[in-house]
Amino acid sequence: MVVNHDSTPSRKALPASTLAQNPRRYSRIKVETGLPIKDEVEAYTVAVALRSALAEQLGIDARELGCATQRVRNRDGTSGRSIFLYDTASGGAGYVATASQQLVDLLRAARRNLECPRQCDSACHGCLLSFDTQYRADQMDRHRAACVLSESALMRLDVPDQVKRFGAGAKLELRGLRNALRQELSRPGVKRLRIYLDGRLDRWNIADWSVAPDLFRWRTDDVEVELLIPEEARDGLDPAVANLLANLVEVSGATLFVRGSLPSTEALAVEIEGSAGSVRWVVIDEDGRAPGADWGCGTESGICIKAVSSEPRSDSHGSLELSASDLRRTPEASVGEVRIGSDLNGSARGFGVRFWDLVKGQAPRLGRQLEVGGPISEIRYIDRYVRHPFTVRLFIELVTALTPSGGKGTRLAVRSASYDVDHAWAHRIHHPWPQASDRDRVGDELARLRGFEPSFETIAPRHLPHARELEIVWASGRSVVLRLDHGLGYWEGSTAFDFSASHARQARTLNRTRLDVKARHPTHPTIVYVTAVRGAG
């Protein structure tokens, strides 16, 4: 379900919970089967019953709340319908704000609302019809909705055994862990946020960790932010992941610790300490404790447990403080580094020229090869995170500056990962394309406008390295690899962008758009690692 504080249903609304105990898949799941609710009648009838249940619980007229459903696509490619509740008052009255914390009770009350005292066939004024819903009577059937909220299905929402061992006050976290943290950290008296990064190291993906952008804001709100990593992560992380984590620590101002071992049964993910005690969250699935796209829920059980204590927990755990430099790794075969802060700020059109001028100045051997190496036959770029028109534009400026006479005769191969995003709101150049295939087709069209022979290709993330690598191959057979610490995501820019236009039109717009580029964190430079030029010549 999505609970919205605005007056209209929106995909931007605050995720509240799910019928399947998975905060990433909202109420598009049938509790009984675990499959998406695809039927509009079932979904809308449950929505109406939920609205009535919340209104009854708050003691307000049901017309103070609205409900809707929307067809959505899940991360696995299946489709279903999401349910939305929202305040009808302009600006929102805040009625739905507490719904997420009592969703299980509301679902049970919604099930009771499907029991009609008149024993009607589908819906009537004795159960579901009201002043506003009577006009959609043909879209409601309480019997079909009752199959979704059956007694056996609701039993699955009872507190599982994993929760009970954390004490009488423990309960399922139904808000989604990121949203729960945002709400808890907005309370007065919060002193410290401690995040225990765990799980398999090969599942760590800092660039896709939803909480990463929040750390800086929480730190500036005078909350001490601590990141605790297991001993094996100190030397066992992929160098590119380790460097991204080091970057995050530097930019956010968080403190990094290597912690001692936790009890295998604890599965602790987050702890907040305040003047009134502590709040802990436990994530059962180990993938849900790895910083990445599945953090906070995982890929299996999706169970997140909240436990409140009047006493703060001990923070010892044998922790050893590390600096970002302790974690940072120089990639193998690197012979030089180019550090970039605000040096490339300016017009997007000149971004590539400014980039290569800086590289030539700080890596003179590569500079000589760029000057006298002759024609470039191929440019290859591997980056999991090419998702936005802005990133593609910067990349094209980068490679265009390598071929001053135009890209004619130069092959351009770009490999990036598939992804899943909520794209209903996309309207700016820094927003992601709805599908990776859109990125590939627009990228190809734009590169052709610059004269290249392009091939933008989508690859499953597990088949791509974490490092962002740019390889230049000259017709002479010589080549060089540059590893971009942050990729092109280090820079930002914004202007309107029409994602509904044809791919060719998007490419033309992207090619001529004027916008400024600036570093996101100029006081914390990004690093380009340069390898030696290989091959005879």
Q: Is 335 helix (H, G, I), strand (E, B) or coil?
A: strand
d(Cα 82, Cα 70) in Å, to the nearest integer? 5
* pLDDT the model gives residue 407: 79
Residue written as tokens 């709101």? 425
Taking Cα atoms as reference points, which of 381, 501, 520, 480 lies closest to residue 434?
501
Q: Angle of helix 503-512 relative to helix 389-400, nearest 10 degrees?
A: 60
Residue 329 is encoded by which pair of tokens? 């790794």
Per-residue H/E/C for 76-145:
CCCEEEEEEEEECCCCCCCHHHHHHHHHHHHHHHHHHHCCCCCCCCCCCCCCCCCCCHHHHHHHCCHHHH
Per-residue H/E/C for 228-251:
EEEHHHHHHCCHHHHHHHHHHHHH
Could you list the mean pLDDT of each consecutive 10-residue stretch along the chain, which spans 537 residues?
A: 35 32 37 68 94 93 91 69 87 78 86 94 93 91 91 72 69 85 90 94 93 91 93 93 95 91 73 89 92 87 81 63 92 93 96 97 94 94 96 97 85 94 80 94 97 96 94 96 95 96 98 96 94 86
- Cα 500 to Cα 48, 72, 420, 438, 443: the distances in Å are 33, 18, 18, 10, 16
In degrees to the nearest 10, what's the CA dihedral of 505, 506, 508, 509? 120
- For the chain, what's the residue count? 537
Q: Is 163 helix (H, G, I), strand (E, B) or coil?
A: helix
* pLDDT the model gives residue 459: 96
* pLDDT the model gives residue 14: 30
d(Cα 414, Cα 286) in Å, to the nearest integer? 33
521 with 498: CB under 8 angstroms? no
d(Cα 507, Cα 501) in Å, to the nearest integer? 10
Whether 162-327 and 334-531 share one fold: the answer is yes
Q: Which residues of 264-292 are buried (b: 16+ CB within 10 A; e: fewer)?
A: eeebbbbbbbbeeebbbbbbbbebbbbbb
Q: Which residues of 466-500 are buried (b: 16+ CB within 10 A; e: fewer)?
A: bbbbbebbbeeebbbbbbbbbbbbbbebeeebebe
* pLDDT the model gives residue 76: 57
DSSP letter assigned to residue 510: H
What CATH code would you report for 162-327?
Answer: 3.30.870
Amino acid letter at 382?
Answer: I
* pLDDT the model gives residue 537: 63
Domain definitions of the chain by residue range: 2-158, 162-327, 334-531
Residue 40 is encoded by which pair of tokens? 């509009």
243 with 329: CB under 8 angstroms? yes
pTM for the whole thing?
Answer: 0.77
In degrees to the nearest 10, what's the CA dihedral of 167, 172, 176, 180? -40
d(Cα 22, Cα 252) in Å, to the nearest integer? 28
DSSP 336-399: EEEEESSTT-EEGGGHHHHHHHHHHHH-HHHHHHHHHS--EEEEEEE-TT--SHHHHHHHHHHH
For the 334-531 domain, the top CATH level (class) is: alpha beta
Supply φ then ψ for residue 235, to 5 degrees.
-120, -10
Amino acid letter at 389?
Answer: P
Residue 525 is encoded by which pair of tokens? 């430079």
